[in-house]
Chain A
Amino acid sequence: MIEASNLTKDYGDKRAVDGLTFTVQPGVVTGFLGPNGSGKSTTMRLILGLDAPKSGDATVNGRHYRDHPAPLHEVGALLEARSVHTGRSAYNHLLALAQTHGIPKRRVNEMIDLVGLHDVAHKRSGQFSLGMGQRLGIAAALIGDPKTVLLDEPVNGLDPEGIHWIRNLLKGLAADGKTVFVSSHLMSEMALTADHLIVIGRGKLIADTSVEDFVAHASQKVVLVRSPDLARLQETLAGPGVSFETAERGALEVLGLTPEQVGDAAAAAGIALHELTPQQASLEEAFMHLTKDELEFGAQLEEVVA
């Protein structure tokens, strides 16, 4: 179990994490979703005690990470940034980690086989592809058979086969009762892997919900309307849970209302409609809609969609 309460972190003038409070439960895969630069990696570093929070607190299995006598048995972490000496072999990297806890060499070999790096275990890890580096990172995360697993963008650089493997691995860990906290900037990936979602943007919590609810919310109808008097239509339709997006000229996307509701409201107000088309929002669109206001740079939008 991971508990963050009011976690806040500044880098210079920039607030990277802003009052985050959430709990990650054991037995399920919890997706940590947010656009690039939204503070996911920082949050993970705060949980691991690599960075100190400005204020607030993060604990793992009831204690600060630093206070665990055997941290690798509590938490296994794959960080986004490379965390391996490029001149050291995968075997020696894992061995050095294992030795800090007196974990036997047998386990090192077991992990190398698990992630499929057997043939390259004694080569310098600097020669590894991104995907192989990820596999090594996953081996390092699992070496202590931890109760909690924290993976930052684990599918980065993996081929389709590798992505499939990691999904099953994460589900298997959750089925074993472990706490699995995995970040991604891809909603579609999370929808396939995660049971629960924690969504952040600009360091702030946006949503803490089950994937089921998120999908249900996301697949609500979006209605495209065309009218000569869009401004008045928008005024008429405005209400709690209703939002608008300007589509092409003279058209408006209405979220949160059914086509019937839109049509009836327009008729009641005497507004002419030239088009009324129900549309299906994809998960990715729903995620973008959710985090749109929190995005710092328009360019990042493309990464989210990619």
Chain B
Amino acid sequence: MTAATPAASRVPQLEHTGRVTFPRVLLSEWTKFRSVRSTAWTLAVGILLTVLFPVLFATVTSSHWGQMSPQDRANRSPLDIALAGVNVAQLAIAVLGVLVITAEYSTGSIRSTFTAVPKRLPVLWAKLLDYAVVSFVVMVPAVLISFFASQAILSRHDILQVSFTAPGIARCVIGGALYTTMVGIFALALGAIVRNTAGGIAVFAGIFFVLPPLMFTLPQSWNNAISQYLPSDAGRQIFALQHGQHTLTPLAGGLVFAGYCAAAIVVAAYLLHRRDV
């Protein structure tokens, strides 16, 4: 590619002189967010996974229902089916959360970003807010579709029917979207700390997929006492209907997970402010 048009040599003046404000940084970050392909792709994958798994599970459950033992039937819960995709989709949301900040470092655009906004922290707040709103707005319809689609499939065999307005159901379904949003926030903060895409994703995977099974190597009583406070276990209570002896309530679990998110954001903000770019 070559630049075809000849360049002028006198810089036109700009009458306007605006200062940096938070709404402006928010708009700028939104422009950056929507103007790279990875955004649309990753969100599409997130939605697809959220919807695909429940549809698949509902279909399989319907077709096998006749051969299933009463015990197996009792173990199936309509909500588990409806939200089966959330656990998978969270990885896509986390990857995009990490990318939102680490891609700036890998491509070098962070230098442009921090030259325009040298106070730096507004950039972090804007990215978090932009991404939180986007992932929530995208995930709410996704979990609603998952719920009603899986229910519709199950209804053909008249099995596992549950009303959206039944106690706890709406909270769980919307909770699935809320949980993934918080996962995205947590991942973005991790990305800001690690500043490297592969590293950020690895740290996220370690905390969410490696740490929980590792807990089973601990003595049972320790595992029971500790696991419920892990980010993944605590966060998952937001969209869990039933709560056991060793799990937190939805509110407590959500607050614990929010605490982890807040801690990660504080560390990210501190490092962002202090470190050389």
Contacts and interface: CB of A to CB of B under 8 A. Distances in A.
Tell whether A pairs with B.
yes
Interface of A: 45, 48-52, 65-66, 68-73, 75, 77, 79, 81-89, 92-93, 95-97, 99-104, 107, 110, 113-120, 123, 127-129, 131-132, 135, 140, 142, 144-145, 162, 165, 168-169, 172-173, 176
Contacts of B277: 45, 50-51
A145 B13 contact: yes
Contacts, number: 162
B104 A173 contact: no
B69 interface: no
A84 B115 contact: no
A99 B27 contact: yes
B18 interface: yes
B114 A120 contact: no
Given A88-B35, A93-B109, 14 more contacts: A83-B108, A85-B32, A87-B38, A88-B32, A96-B28, A96-B29, A97-B28, A99-B28, A102-B18, A103-B16, A114-B12, A119-B4, A129-B1, A144-B14
A71 B36 contact: no
A143 to B, nearest CB: 8
Contacts of A115: 3, 7
B6 interface: yes
B118 interface: yes
B108 A84 contact: yes
11 contacts: A73-B17, A79-B111, A83-B111, A83-B115, A97-B112, A101-B18, A107-B14, A118-B4, A120-B3, A169-B9, A172-B9
Contact of B115 (A48, A70, A87, A135): A48
Interface on chain B toward A: helix, strand, loop, or mixed SS? loop
B112 A172 contact: no
Interface in B15-51: 16-21, 24-25, 27-29, 31-32, 35-38
A133 B116 CA distance: 18
B25 to A, nearest CB: 6
B1 A82 contact: no
Contacts of B20: 69-71, 100-101
B115 A50 contact: yes
